[in-house]
Structure 1
Amino acid sequence: MSLAIPAMARWLVRQEAGSIPPRIRRIALHSLIDTLGVISAGGRTRVAAHARLLVQGDGAAGTCGLAGSDQRTQARHAALVNAVAAHALDFDDNCYAGFVHGSAVIVPAALAVAQQIDADGQALLTALVVGAECQYTLGLASDNRLYRRGWWSSGILGPIGACAAAAWLLRLDAQQAAHALGLAAASAAGIKAGFGTDAKALLAGRAAEAGVMAAWLAQAGATGPIDAFEHRHGVAHLFNDDHFDGSVFSALGQRWTLEDPGLDVKRIPVCLSSHAAVDVVVELIAAHGVRSEEILAIRCDVPPIVIANLIHDRPQTPQQAQFSMPFAIAAAVLHGGPRLQDLEAARLAQADMIALMARVSMCSSTQWQNPARQQQAPEGAEVCIQLSDGRQLHGRRDAPRGAAREPLTPEQRREKFLECLRYGGVDEHIANERLAQLEGMEALTGVRTLFPFST
C-alpha cells in the first residue's frame, strides 16, 4: 500500500477547476463565505489583536489582508492572524472526518497565498477543495482516535490541509508537494488542554502558518519526511495508537469528504458539543411557552466526548463560556442565543445568568456506550426540562441545526455572514456588497480585493 503523503501529493497536483464537480465547488464557496464572515467578527477579539501585534512588529509589508486591520502583510503572517480570528469565537465549521475545524485553518492559508500570488477566484476555490479533501481524508484514516485521546485534531491535521491548498496554488510538482506535506506533518501539534484559553485560537493560527511555510520551503528545495504518518516515530504511532487506514486515499476525488460526511456550520458561537442540547431546549421552550422562572432544572444526557469538551460548569471568562453547557443553555433560555453579544464578561456576571446556569447539568447514560449510537449522534443530546408545576419536558436531537445532515438555509447563511460583519464593525451597505462579491467568486479575476472588508 502506498504511503499517505505521496498519494495525496500525486492527487493534488492533477487537480484543475474542471476536475471538481460543481456541487463540491458550491460547498467550498459556502465554506469560504462563512469563514470570512467569522474572521471579520473574530478580528475584534483580544486574541486576534495579540496575533496582529506579533506580525506587525515584524514590519514586513505585503499584499495579504489582515483581520481587524486595513494593513497588508506577507502570506505567512496573514495566514496566522486570520486563522486566529477565524477560530477565536468558535463560530467556524467542523467536519467529523477527523473531528476537525478545517475551514478556520485552510481558508486563511489559501486566501493568503492566493492574495500573495494574485490568483483568481476560481483558483482560490479549487485550492480550498484540495486542502479540505486532503485534510479530511487524513481524518478518515485516523478514525478520530487522536481526538478522543486528547490531542486537538485541528492542530495535528490542520497544517496538512493548509499546506495542500498552498502547494496547489504554488503549482508544486508531485515531489515538491510530498516534501511540503511531510514538512507540514512534522510540525503537527495541539492538545485539548488549551480549550477555554487563547491557546486554541493561536494553535489554529500556527497550523495555517505552518502549512504555508511548508509549501514555500518545499518550493525552494527543502525536504520533509514523506512517511510522516507511517514512520515508527510518526503521527500514527505517536498520536493515534498506531491506527491508520491508508486505504482511504485511493478514494480521493471519488468520495468527496466535503459532501460525505460534510461540514457542520455553526448557528451559534460556542463549541459544537453544546449545539444539539441548545436546539432541543429552544424547541421545547417554544413549543410549551416556558418562562425562565418556571425552570427548576435542565438535565442533558450526552455522549462522553461532550462532557470531555464542555469542562466549564461555572465559566468566568467568555472563552470558558464557549466550552460550557450551562452557559450555552442559559443564554438560549434568557436571550435566545448564545449570540456574539453574549460572549462578554458582563453577561456572565448577570444574576439571572448565574442562577440559571446552576440549574443545568450533564450526564452520560449507558446508551452512549453503544458505538452505533455514538456514530449516529457523535455530539447528540437527550434533554429533560423540569418545571415548577411538576411537568417534565423531554426532547432529543442527534445533530443540531446547521449540521451537514440538516444544513442552514441560504437565508440563515446570509444572516450569519451579515451578523458577523456587523459585529466586526462593517457598515451594512458594505457588508451586502462584499457578500455579493463573494457569491460571484468564480468570475473574480483577482482575490486581493476580497479581504479585508473595509469599514
Structure 2
Amino acid sequence: MTTTHPSVTQGLARWASDLQSTGIPAAIRARAKTSLIDTIGVSIAGSQTRVGRIARAVGLQAGSHGWSTLFSSAAHVSEQTAAFVNSVSAHALDFDDNCYAGVVHGSAVIVPAALAMGQKVNATGGELITAFVAGSECEYAIGAASRNVLYEQGWWTTGVLGPIGSCVAASHLLKLDPEKITSALGLAITGAGGTKACFGTDGKALMAGRAAEAGVVCALLAAQGARGPVDAIESTNGFVKLFNEGVFDPAAIDRLGSHWFSQEPGVDIKRIPVCLSSHAAVDAVMHLVATHRIRLDEIESIVCDVPPMVSRNLVYTHPETVQESQFSMQYAMAVSLKFGTLTLEHLDQKLLKNNELASLMARVHMRTGPLWDDAKLRQSAPEGAEVQLRLSSGKVFQLFRATARGSVGSPLSSQEIGDKFIACAAPAIGNGPAETLLSRLRTLDGDVFVRDLFESETPT
C-alpha cells in the first residue's frame, strides 16, 4: 500500500538513518553507556541461569559461526544467534532496565542486537552507542505514542515493541538507507507479538531473545532486498488497530531528536533483581524499619497500597519457583527485611521453604485502594506504593514512595552501577576479567572496536 504522506515507519527510518553521533547530547550518550554497562553485566550473570544455558545450547546447536560473542563463552556465532542468546541472558534474572515510554525492557533487547551487529561490521564503541540510541529512541517513541494501551490489555510490550528497537539499531550499524530501514521495520512490526501470560516462566526471557533476534534478522533481510509493508503501524490491519485499540499519538514520533525519551520519562536501572513493581514498596518499608529501628518480631502486618499495574504484575502471593518469587511482593519484602537487601544470591529455591521467610511473607498484603483512582497519580507513580506497617504494640507507620531507587529521579551512582556490574559478572568470568571489561566499557564512547571488548572475557 502506498501512502500519500510519510508513514510512521518512514518517519522513524529517516530519523534513524540521519542520526549522527554529533546530534546526540553528551548527557544522552552517557545514559546510553550506563545502560550498555548495566545490561552487559546482567547478561553475563543471566548466562549462568538455567534458561540462559538452554538458550546457549540451542544457539550452539544451530552451528552458525560469525564474529559475535556469546557472553561467558569462548564461542563466536552469527549475529542473529548472539542477539537471541545474549538477550535471553539479559532478561533471565529480571535485573535489566525499564522505560515507562511503552513500559518496556528496552536495553535487554536492543543491547544484545546492537553488540552482535556491531561485532559483525567491526563498529567502534562510538558507533555502537549511536546505534543503541537510535534503536532506543525509536522504540520508546512508539511506546509513548501507544499511551500504554497495549500493556494494559495484557500484551507484553517488550515482545511487541522490542523488535522495533533491535531492528533500528541493527539497521543503523548496517548503514541501511531510509527505504530499507522502512522495509526492515515493516517486517519486524508485522511479525511482533507476546502476552503477559509469560510472566513467572521461561517464556519471558525467551521472548526477549526472540525480539532481539527478530530485529537483527529483519535488518539483514532488508539489506538483501526484502520488502516489508510501509504502513505496518497505521494500516487497517496494523499495529494501532490490532494491538492498541486504535489509540496512537503521532506527536510522540514528531518529537524525535528534540525530545529524548531516554531522559524523559527516562530509563530506570534496577537495584534489586526482581520485578520493578515491588521496588518502591520495598524501599518504603526498609526506610520505615531503619528509621524507627523496628525488629522483625514486632511487625504484625505490612499493607502495600499499590496501583493496578503492580497488582497485575505481582501475582504470586505464595511463590513456588524462583521465577515466581521475582513476581511476588511478599517474597521481595520478606527477603529484604530478613537479609537487609535482596541480591542474586537470594534467588534460591531453598529460601522458598524457609520458615522465617514464610512467616514474614504471610504478614505482607497488597491492595489497590481509592488512592489510585487519581489518573495523574497513576501516571506519575505507575509502580509506586503507600506502605502501612503495623506493629504488635498497635503503633502504625506509613510512607509513600512514587518511584524506587534507581529511577530517573533517584538514580544509582556510578559507583553503584559499577558494583552491580562486578557482582553480576565476576561469579561467571572471574573478578579480574570483570574489572577489565568494566574499565573498557567505561571508555566505550570512542574509537575502541567492539570486537575487542570481550577478547579476554572467558568463563572461569
TM-score by length of 1: 0.98
Structure 1 residues without counterparts, runs of 5 or longer = none
Residue-by-residue CA offset, 1:84-105 (whole Å, 9 max, x unaligned): 0000000000000000100000
Equivalences for 1:18-167 in 2 at 5 Å?
18-167=22-171
CA distance in 2, matches of 1:454, 1:280: 40
1:205 is matched with which residue?
Answer: 209
1:335 is matched with which residue?
Answer: 339
CA distance in 2, matches of 1:282, 1:416: 20
Residue 443 of structure 1: SS of its match in structure 2? coil
Structure 2 residues without counterparts, runs of 5 or longer = none
1:433 is matched with which residue?
Answer: 436
Q: Which amino acid aligns with 1:99?
A: V
CA distance in 1, matches of 2:17, 2:221: 17
1:244 is matched with which residue?
Answer: 248
Offset at 1:302? 0.2
CA distance in 2, matches of 1:419, 1:35: 13
Q: Which amino acid aligns with 2:435?
A: N
CA distance in 2, matches of 1:421, 1:292: 33
Q: Which amino acid aligns with 1:51?
A: A
CA distance in 2, matches of 1:427, 1:78: 22
CA distance in 2, matches of 1:361, 1:22: 44
Q: CA RMSD in A?
A: 1.1
CA distance in 2, matches of 1:311, 1:233: 33
1:320 is matched with which residue?
Answer: 324
Q: Which amino acid aligns with 1:355?
A: S
Paired-residue identity, %: 47
CA contact (8 A) 1:158 1:204 kept: yes
CA distance in 1, matches of 2:373, 2:278: 19
Residue 300 of structure 2: SS of its match in structure 1? strand
2:310 is matched with which residue?
Answer: 306
Equivalences for 1:235-384 in 2 at 5 Å?
235-384=239-388
Residue-by-residue CA offset, 1:3-46 (whole Å, 9 max, x unaligned): 21000001111111111111110010000000000101101000
Residue 429 of structure 2: SS of its match in structure 1? coil
CA contact (8 A) 2:426 2:433 kept: no
Match of residue 443, structure 1, among 435, 443, 446: 446
Q: Which amino acid aligns with 1:446?
A: F
Alignment partner of 1:215 is 2:219: yes
CA contact (8 A) 2:72 2:458 kept: no
Between 28-37 and 440-449, report the one with greater CA deviation: 440-449
CA contact (8 A) 2:33 2:445 kept: no
Residue 96 of structure 2: SS of its match in structure 1? coil
CA distance in 1, matches of 2:356, 2:113: 42
CA distance in 2, matches of 1:426, 1:361: 40
CA distance in 1, matches of 2:293, 2:18: 56
Residue 273 of structure 2: SS of its match in structure 1? coil
CA contact (8 A) 1:155 1:190 kept: yes
CA contact (8 A) 1:3 1:246 kept: no
Offset at 1:445? 3.0
Residue-by-residue CA offset, 1:254-284 (whole Å, 9 max, x unaligned): 1011111110100000000000000001111
CA distance in 2, matches of 1:90, 1:351: 25
CA distance in 1, matches of 2:56, 2:432: 27
Offset at 1:396? 1.0
CA distance in 1, matches of 2:352, 2:207: 26
2:187 is matched with which residue?
Answer: 183
TM-score by length of 2: 0.97
Offset at 1:250? 1.5
